[in-house]
Amino acid sequence: MNHLPLAAALLALAPFTAQAQQAGEPGTPYANMNHLAPIGVRNDRYLTVPDAAKGPPIDPAKGYRTEDLGGGTYMVTDNGYSSMFVVYETGVVVVDAPPSYGAHLLAAIREVTDRPITHLIYSHSHADHIAATPLLGKVPVIIAQEETKRLLIEARDPNRPLPTLTFKERYTLKAGSKTIQLSYPGYGHSPGNILIHVPSAKVLMVIDTVFPGWMPWRRLALAQDITGLFRIMHEIEGMDFDKLVGGHVERWGTKADVIQQLEFMNDLKAAAATALKTTGIGEELDAADKTNPWAVYDNYIDRVVVQCMNTLEPKWRDRLGGYDAFIWDQCFAMEQSLRID
């Protein structure tokens, strides 16, 4: 079995059944409870990752893999994180410096060229994507969207040096014969998160937004604006690229991966919307708790999410890597967005 069966899940909850229960302790599962382990309950074994989600293996002696994306553009990855660099006539433009393989990033570049790093582009402000910047040495120009600089000023993190050049909406970097187009589509994952497009190579890099072959990270990759995330996904779908560097998971993506993620997100939205409309408020709730508004809505939201889960599972559980790891999170995030955004 790839997951904790319902009988085992109920057995695990046995100490908390009504006879032993005191106020404030967990009780029995909801009616129609989805069998995948909910948040806070351990999985004995997660679902097998589909082959379509997998990428080439990493040489453990190196700790990273470099892939030639064409046109002087390269991806570096450890199959958990990914970044990019572009080689031009007299130098190298690096996009992001993730700490997970930061100690090897310069070596990865040196496998391709000994030209100096002249520019570093920050995709956004988050430390897990740029906090290995000092390991690249002195970089003359660091480029970011102005919201990223604002957040980095607040962070005061020596591992994330402030950008030396910022822009508001669009910036075109000319590096020798290479052109890299930077654009800010607005809030989605986080303020300042930009699209990095290398038109000549037909490569697009957008971080923490598209997860090729995989379930997005929890709560739609912790998107600060889920409505904005949908809008940005449609913008990405309309762009001209063949290969996409997403910042995570095992492989680069394609337009088909963008379309598949949009399909999942639309199904998630529809499932959560239907569950919100068809779930009764106050059902399966102890009468003594009905004057407690937090209890009433905790109970309601839980049952909405269970219905959302049950709707999505037949179509998606075997199509996306890590489906069972974060599907509870996705349903919680989507119902909240539909109620308040």
Note the pTM of the prediction, 2 decimals. Answer: 0.92
The CA-atom distances, in angstroms, between 169 and each of 141, 182, 192, 226, 238 are 19, 8, 10, 20, 18
Is 272 contained in some domain?
no
Is 297 contained in some domain?
no
Is 268 contained in some domain?
no
What CATH number should be reported for the domain holding residue 170?
3.60.15.10
Is the distance from CB of 75 to CB of 67 less than 8 angstroms? yes
In the prediction, which pLDDT does 335 show?
98
Is 203 contained in some domain?
yes
In the prediction, which pLDDT does 22 show?
60
Residues paired with 172 in a beta bridge: 181
CA atoms of 55 and 82, how far apart (whole Å):
12
Is 34 contained in some domain?
no
Residues paired with 120 in a beta bridge: 94, 142
* Close Cβ partners of 236 (under 8 Å, ≥ 6 residues apart): 195, 204, 206, 209, 210, 244, 258
Average pLDDT, the chain: 94
User: Which of 2-6, 95-99, 261-265, 327-331 is the least confident region?
Assistant: 2-6
Is the distance from CB of 196 to CB of 205 less than 8 angstroms? yes
Residue 140 belongs to domain spanning: 51-253
DSSP state, 251? S
Task: Using the predicted structure, report yes or no on whether residue 205 has a pLDDT greater than 70.
Answer: yes
Task: Using the predicted structure, report yes or no on whether residue 227 has a pLDDT greater than 70.
Answer: yes
In the prediction, which pLDDT does 61 show?
94
What are 81-137's pLDDT values in tens digits?
999 999 999 999 999 999 999 999 999 999 999 999 999 999 999 999 999 999 999
Backbone angles phi, psi at 254, to 5 degrees: -130, 175
Total of domains in the chain: 1
Region of residue 213 (left: phi > 0; alpha: psi -120 to 50; beta: else) = left
In the prediction, which pLDDT does 24 show?
72
Task: Using the predicted structure, report yes or no on whether residue 192 has a pLDDT greater than 70.
Answer: yes
Q: Helices in the chain by DSSP H: which ranges?
A: 6-12, 102-110, 127-130, 146-155, 218-222, 226-237, 255-278, 293-316, 323-340
Backbone angles phi, psi at 165, to 5 degrees: -140, 125
Is 248 contained in some domain?
yes
3-state secondary structure of 32: coil
Residues paired with 197 in a beta bridge: 181, 204
What are 273-331's pLDDT values in tens digits?
999 999 999 999 999 999 999 999 999 999 999 999 999 999 999 999 999 999 999 99
Q: In sequence order, what DSSP letters do the residues of 161-195 get, joined into one string?
A: PPPSEEESSEEEEEETTEEEEEE---SSSSTT--E
Is 222 contained in some domain?
yes
Pick from 260, 265, 256: nearest CA to 230: 265
DSSP state, 321? B
Q: What is the 3-state secondary structure (H, E, C) of 112-140?
A: CCCCCEEEEECCCCCHHHHCCHHHHCCCC
CA atoms of 28 and 16, how far apart (whole Å):
7
Is 295 contained in some domain?
no
In the prediction, which pLDDT does 20 show?
40
Structural element, H or E, at residue 198: strand 195-198
Half-sphere exposure of 35 (CA within 13 A, CB side): 15
Place of tokens 């040489």: 59
In the prediction, which pLDDT does 52 show?
96
**Token pair recorded at residue 82:** 């990914």
Place of tokens 């002087």: 72
Place of tokens 């994306």: 69
